Amino acid sequence: MSGAPQAAPPLIRLRGITKTYGQGALAFQALKGVDLDIERGDFVAIMGPSGSGKSTAMNTLGCLDRPTSGEYCFQGVPVQGLDRDGRARLRRRYFGFVFQGFHLLPRTTAQENVELPLLYRGEGTAQRHAAARAALDAVGLKGWEHHTPAELSGGQQQRVAIARAIVSHPLVLLADEPTGNLDSQRSIEIMELLWDLNARQGITVLMVTHEPEMAAYARRIVRFVDGRLDSDHPNQPVPLRRAAQEE
Per-residue model confidence as pLDDT tens digits over 112-137: 999 999 988 888 999 999 999 999 99
DSSP single-letter state for residue 139: T
| Interatomic CA distance for residues 233 and 231, integer angstroms | 7
Q: What is the CA radius of gyration of the chain?
A: 19
| Interatomic CA distance for residues 122 and 113, integer angstroms | 15
Phi, psi (5° rounding) for residue 150? Answer: -65, -20
Task: Give the bridge partners for 46, in sequence order.
Answer: 208, 222
> Domain-by-domain residue ranges, the chain?
12-246
Please give the model's pTM, rounded to 2 decimal places. 0.92
pLDDT at 167: 95
pLDDT at 2: 55
Q: Which CATH number fits domain 12-246: 3.30.450.20, 3.40.50.300, 1.10.10.60, 3.90.1150.10?
A: 3.40.50.300
pLDDT at 1: 47
| Interatomic CA distance for residues 18 and 30, integer angstroms | 7
Distances from the Cα of 135 to the Cα of 5, 159, 166, 192, angstroms: 38, 10, 7, 16
| Interatomic CA distance for residues 233 and 244, integer angstroms | 21
Mean pLDDT rounded to a whole number for the chain: 93
Give the residue ranges of the chain where pLDDT is below 70: 1-6
| Interatomic CA distance for residues 32 and 213, integer angstroms | 28
pLDDT at 81: 79
Which segments within the chain are labelled E, that is strand?
12-21, 28-38, 43-47, 69-74, 77-78, 95-99, 172-176, 204-208, 220-225, 228-234
Q: Are strands 12-21 and 28-38 parallel, antiparallel or unpaired?
A: antiparallel
pLDDT at 174: 97
Distances from the Cα of 104 to the Cα of 116, 145, 180, angstroms: 10, 14, 16
